[in-house]
Amino acid sequence: MSPPPSAVTVIGIGADGWDGLAAAGREALRTAEVVIGGPRQLDLLPAGCPAERVPWPSPLRPAVPGLFAAHAGRRVSVLASGDPMFFGIGRTLAEVLGAERLRVLPHPSSVSYACARLGWPLEKTEVISLVGRPLATLARALYAGHRLLVLSAGADTPAEVAGLLRDRGFGPSRMRVLEQLGGERERRIEATADAWAHPPGDSLNVIAVDCAPAPDVRPLSVAPGLPDEAYEHDGQLTKRHVRAATLAALAPAPGELLWDVGGGSGSIAVEWMRAHRTCRAISVERDPVRAERIGRNAAALGVPGLNVVTGAAPAALTGLPVPDAVFIGGGATVPGLLEACWAALPPGGRLVANTVTLESEALLADWYRRHGGELIRIAVAHATPVGGFTGWRQAMPVTQWSAVKPPESAEPAGPTKPAGPAEPASPAQGETR
């Protein structure tokens, strides 16, 4: 089937260059009037391709609409590395130009080549891109026996990955760097992260990691309720058992956005994002010191994309993208806070609020009366020494209200303003944070 006249042909090309292209890709490049791509890809074209060669501008994404408008009515081809729809330019073009305008001719990706060389089943290998992403993104994938393929940002990435593995207690992990996959200059180098001393090599590389922790390292669980010791905090921390129950009530799903209001240590937002690589979160914290600490916790636990907003709610909520769920861990009696969070949710959105004070508990009971949902009390006791014996030490019980926002037609009359003095937006020592 021939493409529509306005179609943009996106052609995947590998390190083997022109020789590795299928007939359809060669024909598209021979007949194109304009070929757009990175300098490295454009240099792979032979002289027999007479098209105007246009390198991508920087920053790329904002320039895409104008770039293609400037070449409207011309036959345009785009060169991309490997499979354009796998961490490639194809996604950006589909989002900006529309998928219906694209004719995509994929080439085997570097990941396919790497799994073929290593004998790894692709479906059981996790792929993490560090192209334009923080190195700390790798941290959430470190588990004993886990196989990773890391898409490198350049020649220095292997040494950086080795350093992160050592810092996180995964120094025994075997690393193999696969360069120029599929090309004449293909090469492999390897060592453990502890012993990595190779100088920077080719910038076109993929890093294979067989994750292996040191004997004294206990990797973190993928389930919510990480040990409290996993977080840097000043006491403002939702303790692990309450945190696990809170995440269950928030019910994170792929691609969803959480508002974590009164972030404290950021533990709820961090574990929301750890639930799935596409989960997003905004942590709102009025204390600048705590806000910086939230950022450090997010990076340490492998979710550096957590967005931290420094400011007091509800004012700081203005202009934030619409959430799928909201968590309020303190300050529930701040005038207008519950109302603002409830109003921001779309139908089907979830709100969860925790408290340990009688004043906030009364307020949550009133919201439960008017909006339904579930009102529970969570009590946790720990075994501790009592002289030469062992007894139970009770932690402060936590009252939790959770609710799903119904369709607007089913909403009751608007809520009344809470009475009484306001609690601080970040809870005092002993609160659930």
- CA atoms of 188 and 373, how far apart (whole Å): 57
**Looking at residue 350, what is its pLDDT?**
98
* Region label for 120, one of left (φ > 0), alpha (ψ between -120 and 50) or beta (otherwise): beta
**Looking at residue 255, what is its pLDDT?**
97
Task: Supply φ then ψ for residue 428, to 5 degrees.
Answer: -75, 170
Cβ-count burial of 339 within 10 angstroms (0-12 exposed, 13-18 middle, 19+ buried)? middle
What are the tens digits of pLDDT across the range 351-404?
999 999 999 999 999 999 999 999 999 999 999 999 999 999 999 999 999 999
**Which stretches of the chain score pLDDT less than 70?**
1-6, 409-433
Please report, for residues 166, 207, 351, 409, 416, the alpha-carbon distance to residue 315 in angstroms, rounded to integers and kept in the order given: 42, 45, 18, 27, 19
